[in-house]
Amino acid sequence: MQVLQNGRFAVSTWSLHRLLGAVHAYSPDPDKSAAPIEPYGPGAEALIDVPAALAALGVNRLEVCSFHLPRLDAAFISELREAMAASNVLFQTLLVEDGDPSHPETAERDVRWMAEWIDIAAALGAQRMRVIAGKQKPTEENLTRAARHLNWLAEKAEGSGVRIVVENWFDLLPSPVEMNWLLDRLDGKVGLNGDLGNWPAPAKYEGLADIMGRAEICHAKADYGVTGHNAEDYRTCLEMCERAGYAGPFTLIYDSPFFPDEWDGILLQKAFIEDFLREAPARKSA
């Protein structure tokens, strides 16, 4: 297994909806409210306690969804950064969960709102900030608009210590064709967070093999059905990452009610990937 700073595993707060409870819908849309709501219940643990819980499980990287930040003031940001440092947990990515740089009417508003999160990400000590590349259909016009605004956003992030990344997500990027087109136009200024679960199977497997060589980080989302974890799908996705030469960290994304305790689903996925990585020498020699 490749040795990375703080290990090869991260957890996203996306995987801890029920544990964390309230979400705050920060948005560039003035008609949306950031007042807390509890669609997943009241929660049982505060975000500030997650770094220590992660470290106790042997995971030392964290990604935080913007809607899981209960406050954006300097005092809270400092407190969270200190909690992560105390637990030796790296802030891998701040996930900004709204905005659409491809929208014909609101793209400029949205990307300026995204830019406001750069200072927050930097204050938190985040290495990266994942933004939505676009939600519109993948026409040449919409893709070009998104590329222009994402280039602008990357320029705003220069000198901040925060790298902007996008994800193979939403209607704008339904396949490797659009994903590669966009990354080529961004010319290395914006990175890729590859997600194993955003594209539908079976077409996604070859798609992942195509793009994951360009990925810096990976949302290792597993598929669950009524009988539990779809091991065949997960293994195939990991094989495509291996085929592409991906050697970065895996962010464990658990998004299912199958396990009442979300940590159980997270740890199952961690053990599965660990087994897969341990078997790598045997696969290469076969």
CB atoms within 10 A of CB 119: 14
Q: What is the CATH number of the domain that holds 238?
A: 3.20.20.150
> Above pLDDT 70, what percent of the chain?
99
Please tell me the predicted confidence (pLDDT) of residue 284. 85
* Average pLDDT, integer, range 18-22: 97
For residues 249 and 75, give the distance between their C-alpha atoms in angstroms, rounded to a whole number: 30
Q: What is the value of pTM for the model shown?
A: 0.97
Distances (CA, A) of 147 to 24, 101, 251: 28, 8, 26
For residues 118 and 101, give the distance between their C-alpha atoms in angstroms, rounded to a whole number: 16
Among 266, 144, 166, residue whose Cα is nearest residue 215: 166
Please tell me the predicted confidence (pLDDT) of residue 222. 96
Question: Residue 286 falls within a domain, yes or no?
Answer: no
Band the pLDDT of 3: cuts 50, 70, 90: low
209-213, 225-229, 235-239, 269-273: which has the minimum mean pLDDT?
A: 225-229
Q: Which domain holds residue 211?
A: 9-280
- How far does Cα 42 stand from its chain's mean position? 24
Contacting residues for 184 by C-beta, under 8 A, at least 6 apart: none
Tell me which DSSP letter residue 66 carries. G
* Average pLDDT, integer, range 5-30: 97
Question: Residue 4 falls within a domain, yes or no?
Answer: no
Question: Residue 113 falls within a domain, yes or no?
Answer: yes
Tell me which DSSP letter residue 23 carries. B
Please tell me the predicted confidence (pLDDT) of residue 1. 41
Please tell me the predicted confidence (pLDDT) of residue 226. 87
- Please state, rounded to an integer, the average pLDDT across all residues of the chain: 97
Number of domains in the chain: 1
Please tell me the predicted confidence (pLDDT) of residue 135. 98
Please tell me the predicted confidence (pLDDT) of residue 285. 82
Neighbour-count burial for 123-152, b at 16+ CB within 10 Å, e otherwise: bbbbbbbbbbbbbbebeeebbebbbbbbbb
Q: What is the DSSP string of 26-50?
A: --S-TTS--S-B-TT-S-SS-GGGH
- Does 267 score more than 90 pLDDT? yes
Question: Residue 89 falls within a domain, yes or no?
Answer: yes
Q: What is the pLDDT of residues 103-123, one digit of tens each?
A: 999 999 999 999 999 999 999
Question: Residue 2 falls within a domain, yes or no?
Answer: no
Q: What is the pLDDT of residues 35-89, one digit of tens each?
A: 999 999 999 999 999 999 999 999 999 999 999 999 999 999 999 999 999 999 9
For residues 11 and 235, give the distance between their C-alpha atoms in angstroms, rounded to a whole number: 19
Question: Residue 275 falls within a domain, yes or no?
Answer: yes
